[in-house]
Amino acid sequence: FADQINKPASDVIKKLMFLKIMATKNQSIDRENAELLAMEYNLDLQDEVVTDLTRFEEIIETDKEEDLVSRPPVVTIMGHVDHGKTTLLDTIRHSRVVSTEAGGITQHIGAYQVEKNGKKITFIDTPGHAAFTEMRARGARITDIVILVVAADDGVMPQTREAIDHAKASQCEIIVAVNKMDVPGANPDRVKQQLADLGLLSEEWGGDIPFVEVSALKNQGIDNLLETIQVVAELKELKANPNRQATGSVIEARLDKGRGPVATILVDNGTLRVQDYFAVGATYGKVRAMTNDLGDQIKEAEPGQAVEIIGLNDVPLAGDPFRVFEDEKTVRDIADERQNRAFDKQHNSKEVMSLEDFFNQASDDTKKMNLIIKADVQGSIEAFRGSIGKIDVEGADIDIVGTGVGAVTDGDILLAEASSAIIIGFGVGVPASVRELAKEKGVEIRTYRIIYEALDDIEAAMKGMLDPVF
């Protein structure tokens, strides 16, 4: 009952005691008592369907095959600092077929579209994985394809590895853009080799990752890159139904002095229209006006398109889910309920993924343990990987979602949060600021000197026999 009305069980139990009914946390209650309780909460039990709508991001769409049309792929550019992400985004933006109307003054709204061979591609305009991971941590699955930029004169660097981990964890397709091909000393084969060592084998070498050589600065190879994106997108068969109310995610949001809260919404299904009522994150609104990436006022936005909207009651967060509903009352009620829930969540301790509670995971299927391994030397990572593969506990699986040499970083915490992973460190430090972030995000970090101690703990956790740490 508590779950259904999104109130803490302790609160419900208190109310029940007040009604002279003794109950424990794991007990269900009968209809009569449910009605009494509903009165206490000023809820109408008939309204339960509406309560469900408050979890609108979990609604699973079912569209008939004949209603589906293909939608543009959504692409994010990642890679090491200074390898040319921003330059590449700018060059691609300028390669667009500019619509002649309105002068086509491009405007930064967090995403833009280009057209190639009559088909559109949507680029997320914030390079790097910080934004990407923040959004994913909030459950947003925005990106279809990650362009991994690697400078041909520099090769694979730490953030290249991080970007690969993020891209893999999000199950996006990866295309490698080997950039700075114009620089003397550019060595694309070395990049290919380094990435092959990390499990990204190029198509020319018999793998399935497209590699495209470009110079973002000199505008070389860009057409080829765009065409490769379209080939990859085609294989993914990205489809959406434009004839339904829009759903999507927030890419950016801010408070504008003149216009109030402003948000860029990436529509992932349906068509968004001016005057639509919507719920977004823990707030709501009515679309008063929409602006596209060219600064044009538009009346409709289709799947795969990003638009800046005004008419929100509050500023949502990047990655927040968005959905259009019939009327104002519905979206207001949903937002109210979601605000309460956010409040409850803040005041009840956050769900933490840790070794200790691994075994208590509520799961009927195989329990899954995600790990991020950090070590002082690469050898330890390989040794750990080798031994962990030998642990075999029925009903439990281990997945290593990331590895790296060096101290635990903020980036590791964000990846752990987004993938519900535990961080295991060997002979590495954890800076105080990183520890602080881990605490805030509810991420467990365990550090060990010796590999087999970690293996023992993990095996024990999988079997549900871990001694608690004090």
Which amino acids are annotated as binding site for GTP, given as ranges?
A: 79-86, 125-129, 179-182
The whole-angstrom separation of Cα 219 and Cα 48 is 56
Closest to ligand GDP by CB, 79 vs 321, is 79
Q: Among all chains, which residue has been given the structure tokens 């439990």?
A: 396
Residue 152 CB, shortest distance to ligand GDP, in Å, is 9
Q: Does 216 bind ligand GDP (CB under 6 A)?
A: yes
Q: 308: Cβ–Cβ under 8 A, 6 or more apart, which residues? A: 107, 109, 110, 262, 263, 264, 265, 290, 291, 292
The whole-angstrom separation of Cα 152 and Cα 189 is 9
Question: x/- site string to ligand GDP, residues 180 to 209, per CB under 6 A?
Answer: x-xx--------------------------
The whole-angstrom separation of Cα 137 and Cα 196 is 28
The whole-angstrom separation of Cα 208 and Cα 228 is 12
Q: Which of 21, 59, 69, 81 binds ligand GDP (CB under 6 A)?
A: 81
What element of type H or E holds 58?
Answer: none
Residue 88 CB, shortest distance to ligand GDP, in Å, is 7
Residue 122 CB, shortest distance to ligand GDP, in Å, is 19
Q: Per CB under 6 A, which region of 53-61, 215-223, 401-409, 434-442 contacts ligand GDP?
A: 215-223
Q: Which of 76, 87, 264, 419 binds ligand GDP (CB under 6 A)?
A: 87
Strand pairing category for 211-213 and 239-240: unpaired
By CB under 6 A, the residues from 32 to 71 that bind ligand GDP are: none
Closest to ligand GDP by CB, 69 vs 81, is 81
Residue 75 CB, shortest distance to ligand GDP, in Å, is 15
By CB under 6 A, the residues from 360 to 379 that bind ligand GDP are: none
Q: Does 76 bind ligand GDP (CB under 6 A)?
A: no
Q: Per CB under 6 A, which region of 43-51, 213-221, 232-240, 352-360 contacts ligand GDP?
A: 213-221
By CB under 6 A, the residues from 115 to 134 that bind ligand GDP are: 127
Supply the DSSP string of 275-311, one letter for each residue. T-EEEETTEEEEEEEEE-TTS-EESEE-TT-EEEEEE
Residue 63 CB, shortest distance to ligand GDP, in Å, is 37
Q: Classify residue 85 by burial, with Cβ atoms within 10 Å: 0-12, 13-18, 19+.
A: buried
Q: How many residues of this chain interact with ligand GDP, rule: CB under 6 A?
A: 16
Q: What letter would DSSP give residue 403?
A: E
Q: Per CB under 6 A, which region of 17-25, 48-56, 83-91, 345-353 contacts ligand GDP?
A: 83-91
Q: In what order do the strands lie in the sheet with 173-179?
A: 111-116, 119-124, 74-79, 145-151, 173-179, 211-213
Q: What letter would DSSP give residue 202?
A: B
Residue 274 CB, shortest distance to ligand GDP, in Å, is 35
Q: Does 404 bind ligand GDP (CB under 6 A)?
A: no
Question: x/- site string to ligand GDP, residues 262 to 281, per CB under 6 A?
Answer: --------------------
Closest to ligand GDP by CB, 214 vs 401, is 214
Q: Does 261 bind ligand GDP (CB under 6 A)?
A: no
Residue 80 CB, shortest distance to ligand GDP, in Å, is 7
Q: Which amino acid is at 305?
A: Q
Q: Does 334 bind ligand GDP (CB under 6 A)?
A: no
Q: Does 321 bind ligand GDP (CB under 6 A)?
A: no
The whole-angstrom separation of Cα 284 and Cα 274 is 14
Instruction: Kindly report the backbone phi and psi dihedral angles of residue 273, in degrees, each rounded to the nearest multiple of 5, phi listed first.
Output: -130, 155
Q: Which of 54, 215, 247, 264 binds ligand GDP (CB under 6 A)?
A: 215
Residue 200 CB, shortest distance to ligand GDP, in Å, is 18
Q: Which of 61, 82, 197, 328 binds ligand GDP (CB under 6 A)?
A: 82
For 337, the 3-state DSSP assignment is helix
Q: In terms of Cα–Cα distance, which of 68, 86, 5 is closest to 39?
A: 5
What element of type H or E holds 399?
Answer: strand 396-405
Closest to ligand GDP by CB, 176 vs 428, is 176
The b/e string for 112-123 (b: 16+ C-beta within 10 A; e otherwise) is: bbbebeeebbbb
Q: Per CB under 6 A, which region of 16-24, 79-87, 255-263, 453-461 contacts ligand GDP?
A: 79-87
Closest to ligand GDP by CB, 11 vs 90, is 90
Q: Does 160 bind ligand GDP (CB under 6 A)?
A: no
Q: Does 108 bind ligand GDP (CB under 6 A)?
A: no
The whole-angstrom separation of Cα 322 and Cα 267 is 9
In DSSP terms, 115 is beta-bridged to: 120
Residue 47 CB, shortest distance to ligand GDP, in Å, is 50
What is the rounded end-to-end Cα distance, in angstroms, of the chain? 34
Binding site for ligand GDP (CB under 6 A): 79, 81-87, 127, 179-180, 182-183, 215-217
